[in-house]
Homo-oligomer: A and B are copies of this chain.
Amino acid sequence: MLKAKAIVMVFLCGHLMVQAQTDNGMLRLDEFRNARKRQIIQIPEVNGFQTLKCDFHMHTVFSDGHVWPAVRVQEAWQEGLDVIAITDHVEYTPHSEDVKVNHNRPYELVKDAADETNIVLIKGTEITRNTPPGHFNAIFTGDLSGYIEDRETNKKDKVAVMKAAEQNAFIFWNHPGWQVNNIEGSYQWIDFVDELTEENVLHGIEVINGFGLHKKALDWCVDKNLTVLGTSDIHNLVAHDYNLGDHVHRSMTLVFARERTAQSVREALEAGRTVAWASKYLAGKEEHVRNLFNACVETGPRFLLKNNRAYYEIKNNSDLYFELELQSGDGTKQITLFPGSSQIINAVDGEEALEYKVVTAFIRSNKNLVVNIPLN
């Protein structure tokens, strides 16, 4: 069959015919089809901001990815993402024997599909210097055709990064802990990035990249006031790399934005209103992780007093996952808040609050969010 327009079309119709139907000797077996739907990732408003689910780092056949760009929009729609950037490598195009090198093409090819599915598409690319310093993502870029010149130059210079800066791109350092054990000098705060930061050219760091949580990078974001990012850096199919379901989602950035627009995302990124998210784990600046927790978790009123213990229901109104360990107070020792679920906790009568460490939420490399659960 000819199916070039298939991806967009399926978005427009979520209807599944459950029964096999006979039609002129043709039995339609739509009962085995995957349902077409956009799964909403439930996260309440955080201090009046929408929580946008964003992935600013992904690849396609236009560099070393395994899919046509349209698949990235399709995956994003189904998984419930709001904002994506396709960021193929400028300097690394292993399919170039078959796929014409054109860094503007992935964006061009999927702009319509993104528009039609209400996905905010941001133009971007990955600038792939040798390690160290390694790779940088530039998003909110302009024309990418000129970037390719850098390919032949010294793989460690700043030229391509500065070109992105000229285009007023938002630039972040990718997976700084990548190959930490294999490449000398990697995973250090090096002069290269120090200079970029001083010059206000570097705006953020990937604290989460795919299945890696780069804890030291979180400290650098906090100490140098850079924006915390989480990305999938997906090359393969998302469903082949991630065991999707329950609490497992692709790694991404939660952006607390005024509106679901590119402009609002840019404003929020510059203001640093983000939390990086990797399935069970959150990493970000204390203020934002705390606000996020408070928006998601709610403790009901005391519903029982028995044997001098007061009982409460604690609800997780989000699709995030939180694991809590008691720090102070006489109450339930450990609480696991699975997505969209609640637990019963208890405390000694008269206890006004319990203090918990959220062991799945990091605010520094060696520090977890500590929250106060008021009881009343």
Residues of A participating in the B interface, judged by any CB pair closer than 8 Å: 1-4, 6-7, 11-16, 18-19, 22-40, 42, 59, 61-62, 64-68, 70-71, 74, 78, 89, 92, 94-95, 97-100, 102, 105, 109, 115-118, 128, 135, 174-175, 177-178, 180-181, 187, 209-216, 233, 235-237, 239-244, 248, 278-281, 300, 303-304, 306, 311, 313, 315, 317, 323, 332-338, 340-346, 365
Whether A26 and B304, one on each chain, are in contact in the complex, defined by CB atoms closer than 8 angstroms, is no
CB contacts (< 8 Å) of A6 on chain B: these are 235-236
Q: Are B68 and A344 in contact (CB under 8 A)?
A: no
Q: Which 3 A-B pairs have the closest CB atoms?
A: A15-B334, A25-B216, A27-B213
State in angstroms the CA–CA spacing of A323 and B18 once bound together: 12
CB neighbours (8 Å) of A181 from chain B are 23-24
How many chain copies does the complex carry? 4
Contact B344 A118 (CB under 8 A): yes
The answer on a CB contact under 8 Å between A27 and B212 is yes
B118 pairs with A311, CB closer than 8 A: yes
A175→B3 CA distance, assembly (Å) = 14
Residues of B within 8 A of A35 (CB): 243, 336, 338
Nearest B residue (CB) for A246:
B35
Q: How far is the CA of A340 from the CA of B340 in the complex (A)?
A: 11
**Contacts A67-B66, A98-B100, A338-B37: A240 and B78 contacting too (C-beta < 8 A)?**
yes
Residue pair A23, B180 in contact (C-beta under 8 Å): yes
Check if B180 sits within 8 Å of A365, measured CB to CB.
no
- Asked whether A1 lies within 8 Å of B303 as measured between CB atoms, the reply is no
Give the Cβ gap from A263 to chain B, nearest Cβ, in Å.
Answer: 15
Q: Please, how many angstroms separate the alpha-carbon atoms of A320 and B29 in the complex?
A: 16
Contact in complex: B306, A344 (CB < 8 Å): no
Give every chain B residue within 8 A of A278 (Cβ-Cβ).
29, 32
Indicate if the CB atoms of A344 and B11 lie closer than 8 Å.
yes
Residues of chain B within 8 A of A342, CB atoms compared: 37-38, 40
A–B Cβ pairs within 8 angstroms, 15 of them: A1-B174, A1-B178, A13-B332, A14-B334, A15-B323, A18-B19, A25-B365, A34-B243, A40-B340, A66-B68, A66-B71, A74-B236, A116-B311, A239-B239, A239-B240
- Chain B residues near A64: list those with CB within 8 A: 2-4
Q: How far is the CA of A127 from the CA of B366 in the complex (A)?
A: 51
